[in-house]
Each structure stands twice: as structure tokens, then as C-alpha cells.
Amino acid sequence: MREIITVRKLMIKRSRQVVLDGVDLDVAHGEVCVLVGRNGAGKTTLFHALLGGLNPKRGLIRVFGKDPVRHQRYVREQIGFVPSIPDVPSEMTFNEIAAFMEPHFPSWSATRLDEMSAWLCVSRGVPFGTLSKGQQMKAMLALALAHDPKLLLLDEPFGGIDPIARKEILEGLIHSIQPMKRAILIATHDLDAAARVADAFLVMKGHGRIHKRMVEDIAEDTRPVTETLLGALKRIQTKESTPCTL
Amino acid sequence: MYSLIRILYSATRREWIAYRRTFAAICFMLAALSALTVLLSPSTAAQAGLFTILTTSGMTILVTVTLATEMWTRDLSASSSLARRLPGGLGAMACSKLLFYGIVQAAALLWGAMVGIAAGIAVAGPESLASVAADLPLSVLPAMSIATLGPWIGAVTLWGAEGILAIPGVLFLFAVSGVPVFATLGEDAPQFIQALHFGSADTILFLMSLAISGALVASITLIRGRRFDRRAAAGACTGLSVVALLLIPTYTLAFGAVRNWEAATPDYARFQIHGAVLAPDGARIWVNTRSDKHSPWSCSVIRTSTGEIRRLGGRGEMVRSPTRDYRTATSPFVLHVDREGNPLAIFDSSSGRSLPESALKVALDQRQVLRLPDGSRVTIEGDTVRSPLKSGKTVSLPWYRDATPVVHLGFGVATFRRGRITILDFTRGRTFPLPQQFVDRPSRLFELRILRSGSWFIPTGIDDQGRALFDPDTGTLRDARGWKPFDLARGLYGKNGLLVVNERPGKHGAKVVILDPETGQRDAIRLPSSRSMFRFRNPAGFFFGVDLGPNRWLLDVGPGFAVLDLDSMSIGEPLLADALIGRVGESFFALAGRKTIYQWKPLTGELRAVFPR
């Protein structure tokens, strides 16, 4: 299986604090991975590192086989990113944001954007700041998918939104996965929602040590998914004698 | 390339969306304020040119303050970091911000001008357009100056001094950057700045450099200093490093310019000295130089001990001696003047130190302007001239400092003041109006000599070839004895004699004759060449001279100079030079070929090149 993301012994410092240390990660083409971990475990930092927005202190990151810092443009053109807090200017409308983003992505498709925004029922003509949290997330997802990315990074897409919006986002996500078989990395605390799309769970603990469990392995367990993951975490804790980060 | 243009366009449009309301509010505010001015103070708006300068500058200030203090850091917050994580990244962000800022400033300038013009038309009608057109460059320049600060303000916001704090931050940065310049120039700074002669083209070039360097610093701070989510301190380190890198060549060029300015012109092949002032101790010679007669003046000071030369000022500036009686006299003070003759500085000519302005006043009040043919001094103190009489008493006569020019007449002077000529007779201790003989022919005044006996030796006859002795007390005339055709009066000397040159061109050359017009006695000495002329002595009877004492004359034996001693009636060895600068003790300073200054001791024949070494 061809790897989309390869991370080895990654160490990242922010403001002289070690945020990630010794992270190893592999995400293959078409694989949907759910990243779980406590707040502050380094999920968002890992996403920014994958986007080339942070410079590793040590270790290796390869996205599509390239260093995202040195080949920032190439890597970013093939990634769709939905941040946990929408980072678009609040005074801009969906259409204005789309017009702003479009020239950056050679593969941008207005048709795809229209299709996704229609599917997700995104309000396109009002300032982004006036939209609800769920609307904002759906808009961000539509924008992230407009250039048909090979890798989709979703940082807490279900955080703070109502169940209906969560269902719509989830359906949008499933809708986007099916034709492309793109790799997706989702950081979320909503494990039940994540379990509907995940191929694997990545359990992140202190300084970003990641333990990967394939869904097939978890499926053999009769307990609910959440309990299985907690069990997996307990095993990591016992082995390394460090505090729980889930 | 096309995609790059599209990225820039979309990013600039995005900036416009973010700030269009702010810009519109500023435009409205300016228009409202202008309308209020038209209503409340129409006379202000009627001066359309001046008002347009105010509106354009005001608009630019408002745009700079509101945009530059905020736009650079806006996309660094977590809630507005879209531009940062796009493929174009921080580079596209920096370019679009600069582009947008430039466009908005141009629009602000245009709007400011339109508002100013509209106000002018509203108050003074279409005629006001003429004054706007005349003052248009004046409108653009202040606006440009303010706008160029924008990128610098932006850079400083990225260094942590966000918001309005960035403005004093920029001023502090500029002040700190200027410290080495002022430390180098010290008290010479005004002269150097004046020497730069900044024209409007230079100013525009300077502002453009300032804007470009600011844009560079802000862009690099954003792209390199603030990448990877680095903090403001990292941005400051990067930005200040760029500033330091930019300042190194700037300082190198500037200090090179200072060195060139301080040294004489490097084009020594075209360097010519055309005037000089010698310090009383001979330590320094202050020279006026030019490359050729069409080129502007400049001035320098030469240390005679080392030959070192240092430029004093810029193009068109000169040195003068305010206290010197005649061109080759030494002077304790040197006045540095600009091209219009306005004083820039006063120097002690010996030490080269700058002096307060009051020193010049004291010097002018106490200067000794005249030496009488017998060697005695006439002093001027304030509004009084004091002269020793034959009897040994000192007489005081009124003196007007604005009287100019002064013609030396031997034992007297003629002054011109407010169209009136007054003759001061030091033998009588009185002033006289111009005698009737001179009223119709004022040029005769230059031939008048007042002898030690008190007689006025004056030209007579239709062609002024004759001479007579005039008594100003009685108004009587009597013939001067011993005067011959071809005699030319050159001056007086101490033994109540009249020095004349008897020229017989093409035959036996010229003769120096000492004539006593009272008795008619003539003592003669033949000159070494027919081209010889008496050029210099003291000013009693002639305008310029080297003060050699009462009975010594410097003879121009063309080319060169020789000392004529009237006591021994002998001529010394000549010095090949074309001008004399002055004398200190037994040493003469002479200029040869308008380039070389020699120190010459005629008594010993010693000759030393002072400049160049």
C-alpha cells in the first residue's frame, strides 16, 4: 500500500515547549484514520506540521513523499484542511472565500464546490461570521474538498455542533470518500461518529506517541468501540508507565 | 505567471474586502471635514492649493495609521490564518498586502486631491484650479513621505509593537539608525546636509528607497521571521537583521560620501585655487576652489604643516575674511558663506575651531582696516575711526559700518554711503565732502593721494594727465613738481614720497621713481623687465597688497614676484608664482599654477611646497 503520510521520530517544539516527540505515523492512500487523544496531546500541531506550517526540530515528515516544509506549495495543493476553529475572515462570504482560495489550487473545481455546498446546504451569500458553528464547519468542509484533495485533514470537525449538523458533515464526508478513495486524517473526540468512517484509530498520548489500531482488530472485540479504544490505551499506559493522555 | 497574478489579485481583493469599510469611512470623514471647513472657514478652503495639500496629507495619514498598524498582523491570529496555510503561503500574503497598501494610498491621494479641489471650486470657483495645479507637487511630496512609513510601521507591528505603538516604534528605529551618522558628522552635520543639495528628484528617490527598504523588511519579517508560527521576538530578530544588512551598504556609501565631502575634490587635475585666506600664524590656509571658471565654487582648509586638506562645504559655498583689509592680509577669522553669501559658520583661522557669532561682531568692531604710508595704524572701533596725528594726538572721526566701498587715499580714505562720498583726512583729523574738481569726474577720486604734508595730490587737465596739489581747507591748487608724462602713480611711501612708475614701453623698460611732489625730487631704480608692475604693498594708496612694511614693496616681475626695498633701492631674487596669499614673519605663501602653494622666505631663498605634498 502506497504511503501518503510518513512520520518518523518527529519532534516539534513550540515556544520552546516540546509538543511532539518521537512520533511515528503511516497513513496509506485511501486510508481513513481517526486521531484520538486528550486536549493538548498535539493533534493540531501534527496537522500543522503535515501542512508544512511548522518546522520539525528533529525527525522526518513526508507527505506524498516530499518534505512539506521544503515543498510547501506542492504538498498544500493536494491537501484539504478543515481547522478546529474556522480560520477564514469573518467578514467574507462563502463565495468570496472560494474566490480567494481558488487561484491557489490548480485542481479547483467550481462544479465540485457547488455540488458539495448544495449537498451540505451551505449559505453562500452571507458573511462567514454570521453563520452558525455547524454551518461554518460544513462550509469549511466544502471549501476543503473543492480542489479534490488527495489527503483530507479534519481537525475536530464535530466539535461543538448539534447532532443534525454532525450527521450532515458525516454524510458529506462519506460522500466525499466514496468516489476518490482519498486518505483522510480526522482528529476528533467523537469516537462513535468517527467509527462510522474509520479504517484505523490512532491513539495519541503524551508528546504525541501514537498507537495505531485497525478497525478490523477492534471489530473482533464485542465491547463498544469506545471501550475498546480505552482498553488499547490502558495497555499502552501499562507498557510505558506514563500518564494517560486520552 | 498567470496563476501568480490570479493569486495576487484574489489576495488583494481579499484585503479590499477586509478594509473597504474602513477606507470608505475615512473617505467620508475627510469629505465631511472639508465640507465643514467650507462652511465654517471659507477663507481656508479658498486657498485651494494649500487646502489640497492638507486634504491629501490628511487622507494619507489616516490611511497609514489605520491600515499599516493592523493589516500585517491580522492574518497571524488563529481565527484568521487561512491565507497562511494556503499553497501561496506567507509570500503571497506579503505581496498582496504591499500591493493593496500601494493601491489604497494612491486612491487616498486621489480622493484627498479631489476633495481639496472640490472645496476650492465650491468657495473660489474654477479659478482655484490654477493654484491647485501649481501646488500639486507640494501635495504629492508630503503624502508620499507619510505613505512610505507604512511598510516600516507594518514591519514594526510584526516585531511586537502592535497597533498605534508601531508609529513611535518606527520613529525610534529611525532615530537609532541615524545615531552613527550624527556621531560621524558631529557639528559638521548641517554643513554636510547642506552640501548634499537635495533636489525634489533626490527627495523622491530617497522616499522610494525608504519605501522599498521598508517593504523588504516587512516582507522578510513576515515570510521568514514569522513562519512556522514563530513569535514576534523571532520576527524582530529577522527584521532587525535585515535592517542591519540594509544599513551596512547605506552607511558605507554615506561615510564614503562624507569622506569625499571632507576631502578636496578627487579630480585633482581640474582643481584650481582662486582665493585664499591665511591665518595670522600661518597654520592654516582657507581656500576657495573651482574646477574651471564655469564650475561652482567650493571651499576647503589646508593645514600648512602637513598639507592635509579638508572640504568645508558644498557646491557654491565660499570662505571670506570679514576682517581683512586687503586680499593678501592675514585674518584671524574666516567666514564660511553659502552661495547667496549668507554666513554659515565662523572659524578661528589658526585653530580651525568654530566660533560663536558674537566673535565676528567683536572682530568687526575692533579690526584695523588701514595702515598709513608711514606704517602707523588707523583703527576702527564701532562707529568711530581713530587715527594718530602728526602731533602725536589721536583723532576720532565718525565711521559708518555700512559705508562701502572704501577707497584708500594714502593718509586718508574715501567712503561711499547712501550716494554720498566723504573723504576722511587723517593728517587734518577732519572729514571733507567731495571737492568740486571730483564732482563732475568721480573717477579722479581713484587717482587722489593725500600726502603726509596734508596736500591732496590730484589729477588735472582735460585728459587728467597733469597733477596738482590741492588744499582742501582753502580750496587752492598749485602745480605738483617733478611729475612727467608716462608717470603712473602707484602709491605712497613713508618718506612723504610718491611712488611712481615711469613706463616707456618697448624702449628701456620701466623705472621706479620716488617723487616728492612738494620739492620735485626724483630717485629712480630700473625694473628687471618692462612687464614689471608694482602690485602689492600696504593698502595706503592701493587696494591690495602684502604688508611688507612702509618701505618695502613686492614687485610683480611677471611671471613671479620679487621684493623691492626702497631703503636700499634693491630688488631681491624672484619667486615664480602667479599670486601671493600672504605673509607671516619672513615667510610668504604664494600660489603657483592655481594648484600649488609654496612657502617662500625671500631673505634666505628657502622654498617649501605646502600643498600638495
Complete domains list, chain A, with CATH: 3-240 (3.40.50.300)
Residue B413 lies in a domain: no
* Radius of gyration in angstroms for the set of CA atoms belonging to chain A, rounded to a whole number: 18
pTM, two decimals, is 0.62
For the stretch B140-176, what's the b/e string if a residue is b when 16 or more beta carbons lie within 10 angstroms of its beta carbon? bbbbbbbbbbbbbbbbbbbbebbeeebbebbeebeee
ipTM here: 0.84
Distances B264 to B316, B350, B595 between C-alpha atoms, Å: 14, 19, 12
How far off is chain A from B156, nearest CA to CA, in Å? Answer: 21
Distances B72 to B69, B90, B222 between C-alpha atoms, Å: 7, 11, 8
Disruptive mutation site among B79, B82, B227 for chain A (greatest number of A CBs within 10 Å): B82
Is A44 or B261 the better-scoring residue by pLDDT? A44
Query: What phi and psi values does residue B562 have, to the nearest 5 degrees?
Result: -140, 155
* Structural domains counted in chain B: 1
pLDDT over 90 percentage in chain A: 32
Disruptive mutation site among A101, A136, A152, A156 for chain B (greatest number of B CBs within 10 Å): A101
Considering only CB atoms, A99 lies closest to which of B10, B18, B86, namely B10
Is B194 or B18 the better-scoring residue by pLDDT? B18
Does residue B241 carry a pLDDT above 80?
Answer: yes
Residues B287-341 have pLDDT tens digits of 988 776 666 678 889 999 998 888 887 767 888 887 665 667 788 888 888 877 7
**Are B85 and A53 within 8 A, CB to CB?**
yes
Query: What phi and psi values does residue A107 have, to the nearest 5 degrees?
Result: -95, 15
Distance, CA of B201 to CA of B193 (rounded, Å): 16
Residue B155 lies in a domain: yes
Residue B13, chain A, CB below 8 Å: the answer is yes
Residues B530-539 have pLDDT tens digits of 555 554 444 3
Residues 6+ apart with CB under 8 A from B522: B482, B513, B514, B515
Residues B2-35 have pLDDT tens digits of 778 888 999 999 999 999 999 999 999 999 999 9
Given this model, what pLDDT does residue B543 score?
33
Distance, CA of B478 to CA of B519 (rounded, Å): 12
Does residue A244 carry a pLDDT above 60?
Answer: no
**Are A104 and B82 within 8 A, CB to CB?**
no
Residues B484-504 have pLDDT tens digits of 777 777 666 555 556 666 555
Residue B9 lies in a domain: yes
A10-14, B332-336, B364-368, B441-445: which has the minimum mean pLDDT? B364-368
Given this model, what pLDDT does residue B557 score?
66
Given this model, what pLDDT does residue B375 score?
66
B contacts of A101 (beta carbons < 8 Å): 10, 82, 86
A111-120, B172-181, B330-339, B378-387: which has the minimum mean pLDDT? B378-387
CB A189 within 8 A of CB A159: yes
Residue B124 lies in a domain: yes
Residue B543 lies in a domain: no
A contacts of B227 (beta carbons < 8 Å): 53, 55
pLDDT over 70 percentage in chain B: 80
Residue B279 lies in a domain: no
Residues A55-78 have pLDDT tens digits of 898 999 999 999 999 999 999 999
Given this model, what pLDDT does residue B541 score?
35
Print the domain residue range for B129.
2-247
**Are A15 and B231 within 8 A, CB to CB?**
yes
A contacts of B79 (beta carbons < 8 Å): 85-87, 90
Q: How many CB pairs under 8 A join A and B?
A: 78
Longest dimension (CA), chain B: 112
How far off is chain A from B27, nearest CA to CA, in Å? Answer: 20
Residue B130 lies in a domain: yes
Residue B289 lies in a domain: no
Distance, CA of B584 to CA of B284 (rounded, Å): 11
